[in-house]
């Protein structure tokens, strides 16, 4: 039985009831976070909390929660989960439920706060040894992709397209540039140098992305945050995707064509080894 948090109470997940007038349900008016915990230890929790707090401020949703409050919630979810091994903690905050439907912010409405734990599905060994395949697809999402909102239909459609073509991810393209995967950040490597799309309104500033940038700098590997042209996917020696659940995964085929040698490359091998050390593996 999964124990979840719902507006101040810890309840069995299947006992939680969402109001049909909740603005997350009606308008996707909310944000979420997913944090990993390896053997009971949260990974980069403060980075997740900073991103959540920034998003709440941008959307003008005032929960009154401090950073310490969010950390306590995440730790309590792990404690109450009853799960063994690696876990994920999901947090969602919406503007709350009003008494009627209307686009403008309702007055006097308390935000809805929900959280639940789950087992963390880490990348399988086959991904590490052989990489994964991806496709490219137009980026049809809104222009504030830097906010981790629950309005994910563009990403849902991209991921469904990937599933239907039998691949792991869909790398999204806009105005001739790489933005990100369906739920991942993207890196390219050419001649030993790493590049990733810069963190502006077009992409989510991923937590794993930030860790990879730190690791690359520590290793002395050249790395740049810049616009990445779509045609660089065809000429790159290596392409990677990163996220909480996919960690650092090599993409070895895109649109049916091999990336580089068609196998995970040496720069990925070096960076991933350091990432695995960072998470205690």
Calpha distance 241→2 (Å, rounded):
30
- What six digits make up the tokens of 225? 């945050």
Q: Which of 161, 165, 233 lies closest to 195 in space, CA to CA? A: 233
Residue 139 β-bridge partners:
none
- CA 80 from centroid of its chain's CA atoms: 24
Give the pLDDT of residue 196.
Answer: 98
Residue span(s) of the chain under CATH 3.20.10.10 come to: 125-278
Calpha distance 39→62 (Å, rounded):
32
Torsion sign, CA atoms 31, 36, 40, 42? negative
Strands 112-119 and 247-254: unpaired
Calpha distance 281→262 (Å, rounded):
26
pLDDT at 281 over 80: no
Q: List the catalytic residues.
A: 148
Mean pLDDT of the chain: 97
The CATH code belonging to domain 125-278 is: 3.20.10.10
CB atoms within 10 A of CB 274: 17
**pLDDT tens-digit readout, 8-35:** 999 999 999 999 999 999 999 999 999 9
Length of the chain: 281
Q: Which fold has domain 3-119?
A: D-amino Acid Aminotransferase; Chain A, domain 1 (3.30.470)
Calpha distance 157→159 (Å, rounded):
5
Do 165 and 215 touch, CB atoms closer than 8 A?
Answer: no
Q: Where are the alpha helices (DSSP H) in 66-173?
A: 67-81, 125-130, 153-164
**pLDDT tens-digit readout, 30-87:** 999 999 999 999 999 999 999 999 999 999 999 999 999 999 999 999 999 999 999 9
Calpha distance 239→253 (Å, rounded):
9
Residue span(s) of the chain under CATH 3.30.470.10 come to: 3-119
Calpha distance 65→116 (Å, rounded):
17
Calpha distance 125→129 (Å, rounded):
6
Give the phi and the psi of residue 240 in degrees, each rounded to 5.
-130, 160
Predicted model pTM: 0.96
Q: Is 226 helix (H, G, I), strand (E, B) or coil?
A: coil
Calpha distance 227→214 (Å, rounded):
19
**pLDDT tens-digit readout, 194-229:** 999 999 999 999 999 999 999 999 999 999 999 999
Query: How does residue 1 score in pLDDT terms, banded at 50, 70 and 90?
Result: confident
Residue 132 β-bridge partners:
251
Residue 249 β-bridge partners:
241
Do 198 and 227 touch, CB atoms closer than 8 A?
Answer: yes
């Amino acid at each position: 039985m999964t124990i979840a948090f719902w507006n101040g109470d810890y309840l069995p997940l299947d006992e939680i009831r969402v109001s049909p007038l909740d603005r997350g349900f009606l308008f996707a008016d909310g944000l979420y976070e997913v944090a990993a915990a390896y053997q009971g230890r949260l990974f980069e929790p403060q980075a997740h909390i900073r991103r959540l707090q920034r998003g709440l401020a941008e959307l003008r949703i005032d929960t009154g929660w401090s950073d310490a409050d969010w950390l306590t919630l995440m730790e309590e979810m792990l404690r109450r989960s009853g799960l063994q091994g690696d876990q994920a903690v999901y947090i969602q905050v919406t503007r709350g439920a009003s008494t009627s439907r209307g686009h403008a912010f309702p007055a006097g409405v308390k935000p809805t706060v929900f959280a639940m734990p789950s087992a963390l599905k880490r990348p399988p060994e086959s991904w590490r040894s052989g990489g994964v395949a991806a496709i490219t697809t137009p980026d049809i999402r809104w222009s504030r992709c830097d906010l981790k909102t629950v309005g994910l239909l563009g990403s849902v459609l991209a991921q469904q397209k990937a599933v239907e073509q039998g691949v792991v991810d869909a790398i999204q393209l806009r105005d001739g540039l790489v933005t990100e995967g369906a739920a991942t950040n993207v890196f390219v490597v050419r001649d030993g140098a790493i590049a990733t799309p810069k963190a502006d309104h077009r992409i989510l500033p991923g937590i794993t992305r930030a860790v990879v940038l730190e690791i690359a700098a520590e290793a002395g590997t050249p790395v740049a945050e810049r616009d990445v042209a779509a045609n660089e996917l065809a000429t790159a020696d290596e392409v990677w995707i990163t996220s909480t659940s996919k960690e650092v995964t090599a993409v070895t085929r895109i649109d049916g064509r091999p990336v580089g040698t068609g196998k995970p490359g040496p720069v990925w091998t070096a960076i991933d080894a350091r990432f695995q050390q960072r998470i205690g593996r």
